[in-house]
Amino acid sequence: MPLRLFVDTSAWLACYDQRDEHYASAQQIAERLRAQRACWVLSDLILAEGLTLIRYRLGHAWAVRFGRMVLDSHLVELIDVDESIRRRAWDIFQRYEDKDFSFVDCTSFAVMEQLKLQTAFAFDRHFEQYGFHLLGL
């Protein structure tokens, strides 16, 4: 069975933006994941965040390229944040007053829990703080 992992906005940005401090690392990790034919999982909130940030950083054409790759690739699994994920994310958000998790982070954690994913491709230590294995940093 191929590796299935969650891919955070921080990793998507690092894969696309050559000026990103994690670009070289992201390229190496992405190449390794492609060679393994890994399934890249993301939520609709990560897609929205990624489209917006890539558009602002790199322009509309790059954002469209990213969107097409996510929406058309058979190696990418897009998860809609539904009511059960949103409620779990809200529980996480309320419980961790001592962390600066964003609500999008919390939805990502809830998706990972629901899908029983243990690994995130991210350059965001919040995934590690919550207890997931981190590819990236």
83-95 and 103-115 are packed helices; what angle lies between their axes, rounded to 10 degrees? 120
Given this model, what pLDDT does residue 110 score? 98
Cα separation, 92 vs 95, whole angstroms? 5
Q: Is residue 90 part of a domain?
A: no
* Residue 137: pLDDT over 90: no
Q: Is residue 29 part of a domain?
A: yes
Given this model, what pLDDT does residue 2 score? 78
Tell me which residue range forms the domain holding 132: 4-80+117-136
pLDDT tens-digit map of 102-136: 999 999 999 999 999 999 999 999 999 999 999 97
Mean pLDDT of all residues in 65-80: 96
pLDDT tens-digit map of 19-58: 999 999 999 999 999 999 999 999 999 999 999 999 999 9
Q: Is residue 51 part of a domain?
A: yes
Given this model, what pLDDT does residue 89 score? 98
Q: Is residue 112 part of a domain?
A: no
Cα separation, 96 vs 51, whole angstroms? 28
Domains contained in the chain, number: 1
| Per-residue CA distances from 40 to 11, 48, 97, 134 (Å) | 11, 16, 30, 14
Neighbours of 95 (CB within 10 A): 11
Report the CATH number at residue 74.
3.40.50.1010
* Residue 1: pLDDT over 90: no
Q: Is residue 49 part of a domain?
A: yes
Mean pLDDT of all residues in 87-92: 98
Q: Is residue 105 part of a domain?
A: no
Q: Is residue 127 part of a domain?
A: yes
Q: Is residue 72 part of a domain?
A: yes
Given this model, what pLDDT does residue 136 score? 76
